[in-house]
Amino acid sequence: MTETAIRTSGLGKVYTVGDSRVEALNGVDLSVDRGCFVAVTGPSGCGKSTLLHLLGGLDFPTSGEVWINGICLNKCSEKELAKARCEEIGYVFQNFSLIEELNVRENIVLPVLLAKRKVDTDLVDDLVKKLGIEDRLNFMPSQLSGGQQQRVAIARALVNDPSVILCDEPTGNLDRKNGQEVIELLHSVHEAYKKTIVVVTHDKTIAEGAERVVRMEDGCILG
Ligand code: ADP
Ligand code: MG
């Protein structure tokens, strides 16, 4: 029997701005097996980022439920949610979201410090080697290429050793070559650390390399 890493049932999200109401997600039922590499595709505005935010506990649904490793995120207390976000989930964003005032090493270990844990230096050494940034640890984000910044963001997403990694258009701000390298790194991370990986993407190469492709349209999953 396979274990389920991610499960949503009847997941809905309505945004209200002034008088207008946007139904960004409309009853999404999704189940992802532990260790699966999933690509989520669909036209701009179909709700991909909204879905990822809800899976990561970065926002709340207006209806339905999200379960990550058996934890129902929308029934958690604030404290439990913070713990689940920190321990179970790593995030990679299109714009890297590094802290400009911190160097590479400080950016990578920040989630560990926020979790009030001890830095696992063996894991950090291993990550920076695997991601090819071991000679950039003292650099500031502004001194890195986009591809290098995304590698730092991937290391940061992995530093607390979460089992689920959520990536929103991770190659969207990169040129083809760097994008390709980031994709290969996500696959090697998937292999090496046995993570469940969900990647929202317009990138055909990512979708082709994924174990499973989830297609969305108008706030729903197709098929
Ligand atoms: P995608 O990532 O597939 O491009 P999004 O999930 O970002 O789509 O957006 C889905 C819909 O929800 C869009 O119509 C978008 O305008 C709307 N939306 C997203 N975020 C917000 C927000 N914070 N406030 C209001 N509307 C939003
Ligand atoms: Mg998006």
- DSSP letter string, 103-130: -HHHHHHHHHHHTT----HHHHHHHHHH
In the predicted structure, residue 206 carries a pLDDT above the cut 90: no
Cα–Cα distance measured from residue 87 to residue 65, given in angstroms and rounded to the nearest whole number: 19
pLDDT tens digits, one per residue of 118-134: 999 999 999 999 999 99
- HSE-CB for 197 with a 13 A CA cutoff: 29
Ligand number, closest to the Cα atom of 45: 1
* Ligand 2 mean position, distance from CA 198 (Å): 13
Q: Please indicate whether residue 195, judged by its CB atom, sits closer than 6 Å to ligand 1.
A: no
Q: Please indicate whether residue 47, judged by its CB atom, sits closer than 6 Å to ligand 1.
A: yes
Q: Please indicate whether residue 43, judged by its CB atom, sits closer than 6 Å to ligand 1.
A: no
Residue 1 pLDDT class (50, 70, 90 cuts): very low
Helices and strands: H and E segment counts in the chain: 7, 10
The token duo for 155 is 């290391």
Q: For position 204, what pLDDT does the model report? A: 83
* Mean pLDDT on 41-51: 96
Cβ 201 vs Cβ 40: under 8 Å? yes
- N-terminal to C-terminal alpha carbon distance within the chain: 23
- Enter the pTM of the model: 0.95
Q: Please indicate whether residue 24, judged by its CB atom, sits closer than 6 Å to ligand 1.
A: yes
- Taken in order of first residue, the domains within the chain and their CATH numbers are 35-58+77-211 (3.40.50.300)
* Ligand 2 mean position, distance from CA 92 (Å): 13
Residue 2 pLDDT class (50, 70, 90 cuts): low
For residue 210, give the DSSP letter.
S
Q: Bridge partners of 171?
A: none
Q: Please indicate whether residue 21, judged by its CB atom, sits closer than 6 Å to ligand 1.
A: no
